[in-house]
Structure 1
Amino acid sequence: MKDCRILITRPEPENTLSCERIRAQGWTPVTLPMLEIAPIQDAAQRNIIRAQVFDIDTFDYVIFVSKNAARLACEWLDACWPMLPIGVHWIGIGQGTTQSLLDEGVPALSNPGHTTEALLDWLKPAKMTNQKILIVRGVGGRPELGNKLEERGAKVSYLSLYERKKPDYSAQTFFMLPDINLIWVTSGENLDNLSEYVAMHKPEWKTLPILTPSIRVNEQAKKMGWINASCANGADDNSLIKATEFHTGK
Protein backbone atom coordinates (compact mmCIF):
# COMPACT_ATOMS: atom_id res chain seq x y z
CA MET A 1 0.00 0.00 0.00
CA LYS A 2 2.21 2.78 -1.33
CA ASP A 3 -0.05 5.78 -0.65
CA CYS A 4 -1.65 4.87 2.66
CA ARG A 5 -4.10 7.46 4.00
CA ILE A 6 -4.38 7.15 7.76
CA LEU A 7 -7.15 8.72 9.83
CA ILE A 8 -5.62 10.18 13.01
CA THR A 9 -8.16 10.61 15.79
CA ARG A 10 -5.86 11.80 18.62
CA PRO A 11 -6.76 15.05 20.37
CA GLU A 12 -4.59 18.08 19.78
CA PRO A 13 -1.76 18.90 20.19
CA GLU A 14 -0.70 15.26 19.85
CA ASN A 15 -2.65 14.88 16.60
CA THR A 16 -0.40 17.36 14.78
CA LEU A 17 2.74 15.61 16.07
CA SER A 18 1.46 12.21 14.93
CA CYS A 19 0.70 13.63 11.49
CA GLU A 20 4.30 14.80 11.21
CA ARG A 21 5.56 11.32 12.06
CA ILE A 22 3.24 9.77 9.49
CA ARG A 23 4.42 12.09 6.73
CA ALA A 24 8.01 11.19 7.59
CA GLN A 25 7.07 7.55 6.95
CA GLY A 26 5.78 8.40 3.49
CA TRP A 27 2.11 8.00 4.35
CA THR A 28 -0.68 10.58 4.19
CA PRO A 29 -2.33 11.65 7.46
CA VAL A 30 -5.97 12.66 7.58
CA THR A 31 -6.70 14.54 10.80
CA LEU A 32 -10.01 14.13 12.61
CA PRO A 33 -9.60 14.43 16.41
CA MET A 34 -12.24 12.49 18.31
CA LEU A 35 -11.55 14.16 21.64
CA GLU A 36 -11.01 17.74 22.70
CA ILE A 37 -8.82 18.38 25.73
CA ALA A 38 -9.97 21.44 27.67
CA PRO A 39 -7.77 22.52 30.60
CA ILE A 40 -9.71 23.44 33.73
CA GLN A 41 -10.48 27.18 33.61
CA ASP A 42 -12.79 27.71 36.58
CA ALA A 43 -10.98 29.96 39.07
CA ALA A 44 -12.09 28.04 42.17
CA GLN A 45 -11.07 24.72 40.67
CA ARG A 46 -7.71 26.13 39.60
CA ASN A 47 -7.08 27.27 43.18
CA ILE A 48 -7.73 23.71 44.33
CA ILE A 49 -5.33 22.39 41.68
CA ARG A 50 -2.67 24.86 42.76
CA ALA A 51 -2.96 23.75 46.38
CA GLN A 52 -2.69 20.10 45.35
CA VAL A 53 0.43 20.78 43.28
CA PHE A 54 2.06 22.64 46.18
CA ASP A 55 1.42 19.51 48.29
CA ILE A 56 2.80 17.10 45.70
CA ASP A 57 5.90 16.46 47.82
CA THR A 58 3.69 14.67 50.37
CA PHE A 59 3.08 11.78 47.97
CA ASP A 60 5.17 8.66 47.51
CA TYR A 61 4.03 8.09 43.92
CA VAL A 62 2.63 10.42 41.27
CA ILE A 63 1.11 8.54 38.32
CA PHE A 64 0.28 10.27 35.02
CA VAL A 65 -2.36 8.48 32.95
CA SER A 66 -1.84 10.25 29.61
CA LYS A 67 0.37 12.61 27.63
CA ASN A 68 -2.15 15.39 28.23
CA ALA A 69 -1.99 14.77 31.97
CA ALA A 70 1.80 14.93 31.78
CA ARG A 71 1.86 18.06 29.62
CA LEU A 72 -0.54 20.05 31.78
CA ALA A 73 0.97 18.82 35.03
CA CYS A 74 4.41 19.99 33.92
CA GLU A 75 3.00 23.48 33.37
CA TRP A 76 1.69 23.49 36.95
CA LEU A 77 4.94 22.07 38.32
CA ASP A 78 6.93 24.78 36.55
CA ALA A 79 4.71 27.43 38.12
CA CYS A 80 4.74 25.99 41.66
CA TRP A 81 8.08 24.21 42.02
CA PRO A 82 11.31 25.93 40.83
CA MET A 83 12.99 22.60 41.64
CA LEU A 84 11.15 19.27 41.72
CA PRO A 85 10.61 17.80 45.18
CA ILE A 86 12.88 14.93 46.17
CA GLY A 87 11.60 11.52 47.21
CA VAL A 88 8.65 11.30 44.82
CA HIS A 89 8.38 8.39 42.37
CA TRP A 90 7.12 9.81 39.06
CA ILE A 91 5.44 7.21 36.83
CA GLY A 92 3.98 7.51 33.34
CA ILE A 93 1.55 4.96 31.94
CA GLY A 94 2.96 4.13 28.52
CA GLN A 95 6.13 5.15 26.75
CA GLY A 96 4.64 8.27 25.17
CA THR A 97 3.48 9.67 28.51
CA THR A 98 6.80 8.87 30.17
CA GLN A 99 8.79 10.45 27.36
CA SER A 100 6.70 13.61 27.64
CA LEU A 101 7.69 13.83 31.31
CA LEU A 102 11.35 13.14 30.59
CA ASP A 103 11.36 15.86 27.91
CA GLU A 104 10.24 18.32 30.60
CA GLY A 105 12.91 17.24 33.06
CA VAL A 106 10.72 15.01 35.25
CA PRO A 107 12.69 11.81 36.05
CA ALA A 108 9.80 9.49 35.29
CA LEU A 109 9.78 5.72 35.06
CA SER A 110 7.46 3.60 32.96
CA ASN A 111 6.19 0.09 33.53
CA PRO A 112 7.26 -2.47 30.90
CA GLY A 113 3.73 -2.51 29.45
CA HIS A 114 1.55 0.31 28.24
CA THR A 115 -1.75 -0.06 30.09
CA THR A 116 -3.23 0.45 33.54
CA GLU A 117 -3.40 -3.31 33.91
CA ALA A 118 0.30 -3.70 33.10
CA LEU A 119 1.16 -0.99 35.62
CA LEU A 120 -0.76 -2.83 38.34
CA ASP A 121 1.16 -6.01 37.56
CA TRP A 122 4.43 -4.06 37.76
CA LEU A 123 3.76 -2.34 41.08
CA LYS A 124 4.43 -4.86 43.84
CA PRO A 125 1.28 -5.29 45.99
CA ALA A 126 3.23 -5.58 49.24
CA LYS A 127 4.90 -2.23 48.66
CA MET A 128 1.64 -0.34 48.14
CA THR A 129 0.39 -0.61 51.73
CA ASN A 130 -0.02 2.87 53.24
CA GLN A 131 1.70 4.48 50.26
CA LYS A 132 0.29 7.89 49.29
CA ILE A 133 -0.43 7.95 45.57
CA LEU A 134 -1.58 10.85 43.41
CA ILE A 135 -3.17 10.00 40.06
CA VAL A 136 -3.00 12.84 37.53
CA ARG A 137 -5.76 12.59 34.95
CA GLY A 138 -8.76 14.25 33.32
CA VAL A 139 -12.09 14.81 35.03
CA GLY A 140 -14.02 11.54 35.33
CA GLY A 141 -11.22 9.23 34.22
CA ARG A 142 -11.32 5.44 34.49
CA PRO A 143 -11.54 4.39 38.17
CA GLU A 144 -9.85 0.98 37.83
CA LEU A 145 -6.31 2.07 38.72
CA GLY A 146 -7.27 3.93 41.87
CA ASN A 147 -9.67 1.20 43.00
CA LYS A 148 -7.08 -1.55 42.57
CA LEU A 149 -4.41 0.44 44.39
CA GLU A 150 -6.78 1.09 47.28
CA GLU A 151 -7.48 -2.65 47.44
CA ARG A 152 -3.75 -3.09 47.98
CA GLY A 153 -3.79 -0.69 50.90
CA ALA A 154 -2.63 2.48 49.14
CA LYS A 155 -4.03 5.91 49.96
CA VAL A 156 -5.14 7.34 46.61
CA SER A 157 -5.88 10.95 45.67
CA TYR A 158 -6.68 12.47 42.27
CA LEU A 159 -5.47 15.58 40.48
CA SER A 160 -7.87 16.35 37.60
CA LEU A 161 -6.41 18.90 35.20
CA TYR A 162 -8.66 18.81 32.14
CA GLU A 163 -12.00 17.82 30.70
CA ARG A 164 -12.51 15.60 27.67
CA LYS A 165 -15.17 16.71 25.21
CA LYS A 166 -16.64 15.16 22.09
CA PRO A 167 -15.88 17.36 19.04
CA ASP A 168 -18.87 18.67 17.10
CA TYR A 169 -18.68 17.58 13.45
CA SER A 170 -21.28 17.95 10.71
CA ALA A 171 -22.13 15.53 7.92
CA GLN A 172 -20.26 17.90 5.59
CA THR A 173 -17.02 17.22 7.50
CA PHE A 174 -17.21 13.53 6.66
CA PHE A 175 -18.37 14.15 3.09
CA MET A 176 -15.24 16.22 2.41
CA LEU A 177 -12.78 13.65 3.74
CA PRO A 178 -10.67 11.67 1.25
CA ASP A 179 -10.87 7.89 1.10
CA ILE A 180 -9.28 6.30 4.15
CA ASN A 181 -7.16 3.14 4.18
CA LEU A 182 -6.50 2.72 7.90
CA ILE A 183 -7.54 4.27 11.25
CA TRP A 184 -5.65 5.00 14.47
CA VAL A 185 -7.55 5.21 17.76
CA THR A 186 -5.76 5.78 21.04
CA SER A 187 -8.35 5.31 23.81
CA GLY A 188 -11.72 3.77 24.53
CA GLU A 189 -13.43 7.15 24.69
CA ASN A 190 -11.79 8.11 21.42
CA LEU A 191 -13.25 4.94 19.88
CA ASP A 192 -16.72 5.59 21.33
CA ASN A 193 -16.92 9.03 19.73
CA LEU A 194 -15.58 7.80 16.40
CA SER A 195 -18.07 4.92 16.34
CA GLU A 196 -21.00 7.28 16.92
CA TYR A 197 -20.01 9.45 13.98
CA VAL A 198 -19.25 6.45 11.76
CA ALA A 199 -22.70 4.99 12.43
CA MET A 200 -24.25 8.23 11.18
CA HIS A 201 -21.98 9.19 8.30
CA LYS A 202 -19.45 6.49 7.32
CA PRO A 203 -20.76 2.99 8.15
CA GLU A 204 -18.46 1.51 5.49
CA TRP A 205 -15.47 2.43 7.64
CA LYS A 206 -16.35 -0.46 9.95
CA THR A 207 -14.63 -2.76 7.45
CA LEU A 208 -11.33 -0.81 7.44
CA PRO A 209 -8.25 -1.83 9.43
CA ILE A 210 -8.36 0.01 12.76
CA LEU A 211 -5.43 0.01 15.18
CA THR A 212 -6.17 0.14 18.89
CA PRO A 213 -3.81 0.80 21.81
CA SER A 214 -4.63 -2.17 24.04
CA ILE A 215 -6.36 -5.52 24.21
CA ARG A 216 -9.18 -3.92 26.21
CA VAL A 217 -9.90 -1.31 23.53
CA ASN A 218 -9.43 -3.89 20.77
CA GLU A 219 -12.12 -6.10 22.31
CA GLN A 220 -14.31 -3.02 22.69
CA ALA A 221 -13.87 -2.26 18.97
CA LYS A 222 -14.85 -5.77 17.92
CA LYS A 223 -17.96 -5.66 20.11
CA MET A 224 -18.89 -2.39 18.40
CA GLY A 225 -18.72 -4.02 14.96
CA TRP A 226 -15.22 -3.10 13.77
CA ILE A 227 -14.45 -6.32 11.94
CA ASN A 228 -10.78 -5.58 11.19
CA ALA A 229 -9.51 -4.33 14.57
CA SER A 230 -5.91 -5.02 15.59
CA CYS A 231 -4.02 -4.24 18.79
CA ALA A 232 -0.92 -2.06 18.36
CA ASN A 233 0.22 -2.76 21.95
CA GLY A 234 0.60 0.92 22.74
CA ALA A 235 -0.94 4.33 22.12
CA ASP A 236 2.41 5.96 21.28
CA ASP A 237 3.41 6.78 17.72
CA ASN A 238 6.17 4.16 17.61
CA SER A 239 3.79 1.33 18.47
CA LEU A 240 1.17 2.51 15.98
CA ILE A 241 3.73 3.04 13.22
CA LYS A 242 5.09 -0.46 13.73
CA ALA A 243 1.58 -1.91 13.49
CA THR A 244 0.89 0.23 10.41
CA GLU A 245 4.04 -1.09 8.74
CA PHE A 246 2.72 -4.61 9.27
CA HIS A 247 -0.60 -3.72 7.61
CA THR A 248 0.94 -1.84 4.70
CA GLY A 249 3.76 -4.31 4.08
CA LYS A 250 6.31 -1.50 4.34
Structure 2
Amino acid sequence: MQDCRILITRPEPENTLTCERLNTHGWSAVPLPMMEIFPLKDTNKKAVIRAQIFDIDTFDYVIFVSKNAARLACDWLDECWPMLPANVHWIGIGQGTTQTLLNEGVPALSNPGHTTETLLDWLKPARMRDQKILIIRGEGGRPELGNKLEERGAKVSYLSLYERKKPQYSAQTFFMLPDINLIWITSGESLLNLSEYVSLHKPEWKVLPVLTPSIRVAQQAKKMGWINASCANGADDNSMIKATEFHIGKQND
Protein backbone atom coordinates (compact mmCIF):
# COMPACT_ATOMS: atom_id res chain seq x y z
CA MET A 1 0.00 0.00 0.00
CA GLN A 2 2.89 2.37 -0.67
CA ASP A 3 0.55 4.23 -3.06
CA CYS A 4 -2.03 4.54 -0.25
CA ARG A 5 -4.47 7.40 -0.90
CA ILE A 6 -5.25 9.21 2.34
CA LEU A 7 -8.06 11.73 2.76
CA ILE A 8 -6.80 14.67 4.84
CA THR A 9 -9.53 16.68 6.53
CA ARG A 10 -7.51 19.28 8.46
CA PRO A 11 -8.44 22.95 8.10
CA GLU A 12 -6.07 25.18 6.17
CA PRO A 13 -3.22 26.06 6.32
CA GLU A 14 -2.44 22.82 8.14
CA ASN A 15 -4.08 20.70 5.43
CA THR A 16 -1.65 21.81 2.72
CA LEU A 17 1.38 21.29 4.98
CA THR A 18 0.24 17.79 5.94
CA CYS A 19 -0.46 16.84 2.33
CA GLU A 20 3.01 17.98 1.29
CA ARG A 21 4.58 15.89 4.03
CA LEU A 22 2.59 12.78 3.13
CA ASN A 23 3.41 13.10 -0.54
CA THR A 24 7.13 13.15 0.27
CA HIS A 25 6.50 10.11 2.48
CA GLY A 26 5.46 8.16 -0.60
CA TRP A 27 1.71 8.22 -0.05
CA SER A 28 -0.95 10.11 -2.03
CA ALA A 29 -2.63 12.80 0.06
CA VAL A 30 -6.13 13.85 -0.97
CA PRO A 31 -7.06 17.22 0.56
CA LEU A 32 -10.63 17.78 1.68
CA PRO A 33 -10.80 20.16 4.67
CA MET A 34 -13.80 19.52 6.89
CA MET A 35 -13.51 22.75 8.79
CA GLU A 36 -12.77 26.35 7.88
CA ILE A 37 -11.11 28.73 10.34
CA PHE A 38 -11.90 32.43 10.26
CA PRO A 39 -10.18 34.91 12.59
CA LEU A 40 -12.70 37.11 14.37
CA LYS A 41 -13.04 40.40 12.48
CA ASP A 42 -15.84 42.15 14.37
CA THR A 43 -14.52 45.46 15.74
CA ASN A 44 -15.97 44.95 19.21
CA LYS A 45 -14.67 41.38 19.44
CA LYS A 46 -11.20 42.50 18.35
CA ALA A 47 -11.24 45.18 21.04
CA VAL A 48 -12.05 42.51 23.63
CA ILE A 49 -9.23 40.31 22.31
CA ARG A 50 -6.73 43.16 22.46
CA ALA A 51 -7.71 44.02 26.03
CA GLN A 52 -7.31 40.40 27.16
CA ILE A 53 -3.96 40.05 25.41
CA PHE A 54 -2.69 43.20 27.16
CA ASP A 55 -3.78 41.64 30.47
CA ILE A 56 -2.23 38.26 29.77
CA ASP A 57 0.48 38.83 32.39
CA THR A 58 -2.22 38.65 35.08
CA PHE A 59 -2.71 34.91 34.42
CA ASP A 60 -0.75 32.06 35.96
CA TYR A 61 -1.46 29.66 33.10
CA VAL A 62 -2.35 30.25 29.45
CA ILE A 63 -3.61 27.15 27.66
CA PHE A 64 -3.87 26.90 23.86
CA VAL A 65 -6.31 24.26 22.63
CA SER A 66 -5.23 24.02 18.97
CA LYS A 67 -2.60 25.02 16.44
CA ASN A 68 -4.96 27.67 15.10
CA ALA A 69 -5.38 29.10 18.60
CA ALA A 70 -1.60 29.15 18.99
CA ARG A 71 -0.92 30.66 15.57
CA LEU A 72 -3.47 33.47 15.91
CA ALA A 73 -2.56 34.17 19.53
CA CYS A 74 1.09 34.58 18.55
CA ASP A 75 0.08 37.28 16.06
CA TRP A 76 -1.69 39.15 18.86
CA LEU A 77 1.21 38.64 21.26
CA ASP A 78 3.65 40.05 18.71
CA GLU A 79 1.44 43.13 18.40
CA CYS A 80 0.90 43.71 22.11
CA TRP A 81 3.96 42.24 23.84
CA PRO A 82 7.41 42.95 22.32
CA MET A 83 8.75 40.80 25.17
CA LEU A 84 6.63 38.05 26.67
CA PRO A 85 5.79 38.29 30.38
CA ALA A 86 8.05 35.98 32.36
CA ASN A 87 5.61 34.87 35.04
CA VAL A 88 3.17 32.98 32.78
CA HIS A 89 3.12 29.21 32.26
CA TRP A 90 2.35 28.62 28.56
CA ILE A 91 0.77 25.23 27.78
CA GLY A 92 -0.19 23.67 24.45
CA ILE A 93 -2.62 20.77 24.22
CA GLY A 94 -0.82 18.23 22.05
CA GLN A 95 2.59 18.21 20.43
CA GLY A 96 1.51 20.03 17.27
CA THR A 97 0.09 22.98 19.20
CA THR A 98 3.12 23.17 21.46
CA GLN A 99 5.52 23.05 18.53
CA THR A 100 3.63 25.89 16.85
CA LEU A 101 4.18 27.98 19.98
CA LEU A 102 7.85 27.04 20.24
CA ASN A 103 8.38 27.97 16.59
CA GLU A 104 7.01 31.43 17.39
CA GLY A 105 9.29 31.87 20.40
CA VAL A 106 6.74 31.09 23.12
CA PRO A 107 8.38 28.82 25.76
CA ALA A 108 5.47 26.39 25.94
CA LEU A 109 5.20 23.08 27.72
CA SER A 110 2.98 20.20 26.65
CA ASN A 111 1.20 17.50 28.58
CA PRO A 112 2.60 14.01 27.93
CA GLY A 113 -0.58 12.96 26.09
CA HIS A 114 -2.47 14.57 23.25
CA THR A 115 -5.91 15.46 24.55
CA THR A 116 -7.82 17.63 26.98
CA GLU A 117 -8.34 14.57 29.17
CA THR A 118 -4.62 13.82 29.46
CA LEU A 119 -3.92 17.48 30.22
CA LEU A 120 -6.31 17.27 33.15
CA ASP A 121 -4.52 14.16 34.40
CA TRP A 122 -1.19 15.93 34.03
CA LEU A 123 -2.38 18.93 36.06
CA LYS A 124 -3.71 16.80 38.93
CA PRO A 125 -0.57 17.23 41.07
CA ALA A 126 -0.53 20.98 40.48
CA ARG A 127 -2.23 23.31 42.91
CA MET A 128 -4.94 24.76 40.75
CA ARG A 129 -6.86 26.45 43.59
CA ASP A 130 -6.98 30.21 43.07
CA GLN A 131 -4.79 29.95 39.97
CA LYS A 132 -5.86 32.27 37.16
CA ILE A 133 -6.08 30.37 33.88
CA LEU A 134 -6.77 31.70 30.39
CA ILE A 135 -7.96 29.20 27.78
CA ILE A 136 -7.38 30.38 24.21
CA ARG A 137 -9.64 28.69 21.68
CA GLY A 138 -12.24 29.17 18.95
CA GLU A 139 -15.79 30.30 19.58
CA GLY A 140 -18.00 27.57 21.00
CA GLY A 141 -15.19 25.28 22.07
CA ARG A 142 -15.66 22.29 24.36
CA PRO A 143 -16.26 23.42 27.96
CA GLU A 144 -14.89 20.32 29.69
CA LEU A 145 -11.38 21.61 30.36
CA GLY A 146 -12.56 24.86 31.93
CA ASN A 147 -15.26 23.14 33.96
CA LYS A 148 -12.84 20.59 35.37
CA LEU A 149 -10.27 23.25 36.25
CA GLU A 150 -12.94 25.30 38.01
CA GLU A 151 -13.90 22.20 40.01
CA ARG A 152 -10.34 22.23 41.32
CA GLY A 153 -10.68 25.83 42.42
CA ALA A 154 -9.06 27.56 39.46
CA LYS A 155 -10.35 30.87 38.13
CA VAL A 156 -10.89 30.28 34.43
CA SER A 157 -11.31 32.86 31.68
CA TYR A 158 -11.71 32.28 27.94
CA LEU A 159 -10.32 34.08 24.90
CA SER A 160 -11.90 33.20 21.54
CA LEU A 161 -9.83 34.15 18.51
CA TYR A 162 -11.63 32.46 15.62
CA GLU A 163 -14.81 30.85 14.44
CA ARG A 164 -15.18 27.46 12.79
CA LYS A 165 -17.47 26.81 9.84
CA LYS A 166 -18.44 23.76 7.83
CA PRO A 167 -17.02 23.98 4.27
CA GLN A 168 -19.56 23.92 1.47
CA TYR A 169 -19.05 21.12 -1.05
CA SER A 170 -21.23 19.89 -3.90
CA ALA A 171 -21.99 16.34 -4.91
CA GLN A 172 -19.59 16.84 -7.82
CA THR A 173 -16.71 17.43 -5.39
CA PHE A 174 -17.13 13.93 -4.01
CA PHE A 175 -17.77 12.42 -7.45
CA MET A 176 -14.41 13.74 -8.68
CA LEU A 177 -12.37 12.37 -5.77
CA PRO A 178 -10.10 9.36 -6.40
CA ASP A 179 -10.64 6.10 -4.56
CA ILE A 180 -9.67 6.52 -0.90
CA ASN A 181 -7.87 3.89 1.20
CA LEU A 182 -7.68 5.67 4.55
CA ILE A 183 -9.14 8.76 6.26
CA TRP A 184 -7.50 11.08 8.78
CA ILE A 185 -9.91 12.80 11.18
CA THR A 186 -8.30 15.22 13.62
CA SER A 187 -11.28 16.57 15.59
CA GLY A 188 -14.79 15.66 16.59
CA GLU A 189 -16.24 18.57 14.66
CA SER A 190 -14.47 17.53 11.46
CA LEU A 191 -15.83 14.03 11.97
CA LEU A 192 -19.36 15.38 12.27
CA ASN A 193 -19.02 17.47 9.10
CA LEU A 194 -17.50 14.62 7.09
CA SER A 195 -20.17 12.19 8.29
CA GLU A 196 -22.92 14.49 7.08
CA TYR A 197 -21.38 14.68 3.60
CA VAL A 198 -20.63 10.95 3.47
CA SER A 199 -24.22 10.09 4.32
CA LEU A 200 -25.29 12.13 1.29
CA HIS A 201 -22.60 11.34 -1.27
CA LYS A 202 -20.25 8.52 -0.19
CA PRO A 203 -21.99 6.06 2.15
CA GLU A 204 -19.56 3.35 1.04
CA TRP A 205 -16.78 5.23 2.85
CA LYS A 206 -18.22 4.12 6.20
CA VAL A 207 -16.28 0.85 5.85
CA LEU A 208 -12.92 2.57 5.29
CA PRO A 209 -10.30 2.68 8.05
CA VAL A 210 -10.46 6.00 9.90
CA LEU A 211 -7.73 7.33 12.20
CA THR A 212 -8.83 9.67 14.97
CA PRO A 213 -6.82 11.75 17.47
CA SER A 214 -8.34 10.26 20.63
CA ILE A 215 -10.37 7.39 22.01
CA ARG A 216 -13.25 9.82 22.53
CA VAL A 217 -13.41 10.68 18.81
CA ALA A 218 -12.94 7.03 17.80
CA GLN A 219 -15.92 6.06 19.95
CA GLN A 220 -17.88 8.96 18.49
CA ALA A 221 -17.05 7.71 14.98
CA LYS A 222 -18.23 4.18 15.75
CA LYS A 223 -21.51 5.50 17.11
CA MET A 224 -21.94 7.35 13.80
CA GLY A 225 -21.50 4.18 11.78
CA TRP A 226 -17.77 4.19 10.97
CA ILE A 227 -17.05 0.52 11.56
CA ASN A 228 -13.26 0.69 11.26
CA ALA A 229 -12.30 3.70 13.41
CA SER A 230 -9.17 3.57 15.58
CA CYS A 231 -7.23 5.97 17.78
CA ALA A 232 -3.89 7.40 16.59
CA ASN A 233 -3.10 8.85 20.05
CA GLY A 234 -2.68 12.37 18.75
CA ALA A 235 -3.79 14.77 16.04
CA ASP A 236 -0.26 15.80 15.01
CA ASP A 237 1.32 14.52 11.82
CA ASN A 238 3.83 12.28 13.62
CA SER A 239 1.12 10.44 15.55
CA MET A 240 -1.05 10.04 12.47
CA ILE A 241 1.86 8.85 10.31
CA LYS A 242 2.87 6.30 12.93
CA ALA A 243 -0.71 4.98 13.11
CA THR A 244 -0.88 4.88 9.30
CA GLU A 245 2.35 2.88 9.10
CA PHE A 246 0.95 0.46 11.68
CA HIS A 247 -2.26 0.08 9.68
CA ILE A 248 -0.38 -0.51 6.41
CA GLY A 249 1.85 -3.02 8.17
CA LYS A 250 -1.18 -5.00 9.29
CA GLN A 251 -2.62 -4.88 5.75
CA ASN A 252 0.63 -6.26 4.35
CA ASP A 253 0.93 -9.10 6.88
- Shift of residue 101, structure 1, vs aligned partner: 0.2
Q: Specify the code of the residue in structure 1 equivalent to 2:81.
A: W
- Shift of residue 21, structure 1, vs aligned partner: 1.1
Q: Against the structure 1 CA distance between its residues 9 and 126, is the aligned structure 2 distance closer, same or farther, given a 3 Å change threshold?
A: closer
Normalising by structure 1, we get a TM-score of 0.99
Q: Deviations over 1:7-32 (max 9, x none)?
A: 00000000011001101110000000
In the other structure, the counterpart of 2:57 is: 57
In the other structure, the counterpart of 1:33 is: 33
How far apart, in 2, do the equivalents of 1:161 and 1:2 lie? 39
In the other structure, the counterpart of 2:127 is: 127
How far apart, in 1, do the equivalents of 2:49 and 2:177 lie? 40
Q: Specify the code of the residue in structure 1 equivalent to 2:35.
A: L
Q: Specify the code of the residue in structure 1 equivalent to 2:172.
A: Q
In the other structure, the counterpart of 2:95 is: 95
Secondary structure of the 1:127 match is coil
Indicate conservation of the 8 Å contact 1:126/1:152, yes or no.
no
In the other structure, the counterpart of 1:150 is: 150
Give the fraction of aligned pairs with identical amino acids, expressed as a percent: 82
Indicate conservation of the 8 Å contact 1:125/1:152, yes or no.
no
Secondary structure of the 1:167 match is coil
How far apart, in 2, do the equivalents of 1:10 and 1:71 lie? 15
- Shift of residue 246, structure 1, vs aligned partner: 1.0
Residue range with higher mean Cα deviation, 240-249 or 143-152:
240-249
Q: Specify the code of the residue in structure 2 equivalent to 1:201.
A: H
Q: Which runs of 5+ in 2 are unaligned?
A: none
Secondary structure of the 1:147 match is helix
Indicate conservation of the 8 Å contact 1:132/1:156, yes or no.
yes
Normalising by structure 2, we get a TM-score of 0.98
How far apart, in 1, do the equivalents of 2:184 and 2:218 lie? 12
How far apart, in 2, do the equivalents of 1:125 and 1:23 lie? 42
Indicate conservation of the 8 Å contact 1:92/1:101, yes or no.
yes
How far apart, in 1, do the equivalents of 2:129 and 2:227 lie? 43
The 5 A counterparts of 1:75-224 are: 75-124=75-124, 127-224=127-224
Q: Specify the code of the residue in structure 2 equivalent to 1:117.
A: E
Q: Specify the code of the residue in structure 2 equivalent to 1:200.
A: L
How far apart, in 1, do the equivalents of 2:110 and 2:126 lie? 19
Q: Specify the code of the residue in structure 1 equivalent to 2:39.
A: P
Count of residues in Structure 1 that have an aligned counterpart in Structure 2 = 250
How far apart, in 1, do the equivalents of 2:73 and 2:146 lie? 18
Q: Specify the code of the residue in structure 2 equivalent to 1:85.
A: P
Moved over 4 A (4+): none
In the other structure, the counterpart of 2:248 is: 248
Q: Deviations over 1:134-190 (max 9, x none)?
A: 000000000000000000000000000000000000001000100000000000001
Q: Specify the code of the residue in structure 2 equivalent to 1:172.
A: Q
Indicate conservation of the 8 Å contact 1:116/1:145, yes or no.
yes
Q: Specify the code of the residue in structure 2 equivalent to 1:173.
A: T
Q: Which runs of 5+ in 1 are unaligned?
A: none
- Shift of residue 125, structure 1, vs aligned partner: 5.4
RMSD value, Cα: 0.8
Q: Specify the code of the residue in structure 1 equivalent to 2:183.
A: I
Q: Specify the code of the residue in structure 1 equivalent to 2:247.
A: H
